[in-house]
Amino acid sequence: MAQPDNLSEFDLIKQYFVRQRAGRATLGIGDDCALLTPSAGKQFAISSDMLVEDRHFFAGADPRKLGHKSLAVNLSDLAAMGARPVAFTLALALPQADRAWLAGFAAGLFALADAHDCELIGGDTTKGPLNICITVFGELAPGQALRRSHAVPGDDIWISGTVGDARLALAGYRMEQSLSAEELASAAVRMHTPTPRVALGHALAENKLAHAAIDISDGLVGDLGHILKASQVGATLDVDALPAGPILALQDTGLRRRFAAAGGDDYELCFTAPAASRAAIAALAITCGTPATRVGCIEAEPGLRLVDANGVALDLRLSSFDHFSD
């Protein structure tokens, strides 16, 4: 970051985060609290994510991309619940008040917020090691939430978009995997600026097409595991059916399987739906502009069985990301 200048806490908020546009909130930034009410007959879905330098992003990361990603990972939680974004709060610890950084961060943040009509209604700023904590509010009708506990045997397992390129980019940065500059740049887009699948998640819930959903942040196998545990079911996953990202698809089979199944940082949706929903989901995927791929099925037998395209069991020895073990 460049040298700070004399930007006070209140000037910082006013210059970079208060906007002159009408919003949904009864009261936004500038009082002890914001005031917000869900639309008639709706409830709030609420999620918080905290992003820490050197943990969730590299030191020196492009602030514009970081602004995007900070909100994207939260919107992804709303998508996984089937909620429509409404508003968010932003708490920000910064080593210093750097104008260029703030301008970039705010630009990336608000570009995504505006695309989803999601209003910044409050928050906090303080000096400290770089830390970004967003709490997001969406709304949905009672009973429509795509809960982790609602998968049932016989459900198809679906994945939105593609998986694994974010993990491949990380391997490229770490020199664990040799990638051309073009390949790395392409895969890195998925790592730095993930696309939350808000329209698809909301439409799945609103049209009652899916039973359960989760967003893939720590790797598909681990995240699907949360659905299986909460729903007290098992599953068979066709690893070769997983929609690998375009750069990962160029890599060898072993790497492709591992990174698609357990890469992490994908922010795609993994959802389960009855076979009766197949045609409607396929149509919805086209409407939303987000591909959806069937990759397995929910079964009564506990456990997750990974198989190849021929149905032969695979032993990939995967592990999900854990913040206190990894």
148 annotated binding-site participant: yes
Q: Which of residues 13-32 bind a second copy (CB under 8 A)?
A: 26-27, 30-32
135 and 118 in contact (C-beta within 8 Å)?
no
3-class SS at 125? strand
Angle 63-90-325 from CA coordinates, rounded to 5° = 75
Task: Choose between 96 and 253: whose C-beta lies nearer to a second copy.
Answer: 96
Task: Choose between 78 and 304: whose C-beta lies nearer to a second copy.
Answer: 78
Q: Is 61 in the site for a second copy (CB under 8 A)?
A: no
Largest CA distance in the chain: 64
For 195, residues 6+ apart whose C-beta sits below 8 A from its C-beta are 72, 161, 267
Task: Choose between 96 and 180: whose C-beta lies nearer to a second copy.
Answer: 96
Q: Is 145 in the site for a second copy (CB under 8 A)?
A: yes
- Min. distance of Cβ 161 from a second copy in angstroms? 17
Q: Which of residues 266-325 bind a second copy (CB under 8 A)?
A: 322-325
Burial of 53 (0-12, 13-18, 19+ CB in 10 A): middle
Residue from 33, 181, 309, 312 binding a second copy (CB under 8 A): 33
Q: Which of residues 148-207 bind a second copy (CB under 8 A)?
A: 148-149
* Distance from C-alpha of 30 to C-alpha of 17, rounded to nearest angstrom: 11
148 and 212 in contact (C-beta within 8 Å)?
yes
Q: Is 78 in the site for a second copy (CB under 8 A)?
A: yes
48 annotated binding-site participant: yes
Q: Is 34 in the site for a second copy (CB under 8 A)?
A: yes
Q: Is 39 in the site for a second copy (CB under 8 A)?
A: no
- The number of beta carbons lying within 10 Å of the beta carbon of residue 190 is 27
Q: Is 62 in the site for a second copy (CB under 8 A)?
A: no
* Distance from C-alpha of 183 to C-alpha of 168, rounded to nearest angstrom: 10
Q: Which of residues 227-266 bind a second copy (CB under 8 A)?
A: 230
Q: Which stretch binds a second copy (CB under 8 A): 43-51, 106-114, 190-198, 272-280?
A: 43-51
Burial of 279 (0-12, 13-18, 19+ CB in 10 A): exposed
Residue from 39, 100, 117, 127 binding a second copy (CB under 8 A): 127
Question: Which residues does the annotation place in the binding site?
Answer: 32, 47-49, 56, 77, 123-124, 148, 215, 217-218, 265, 321
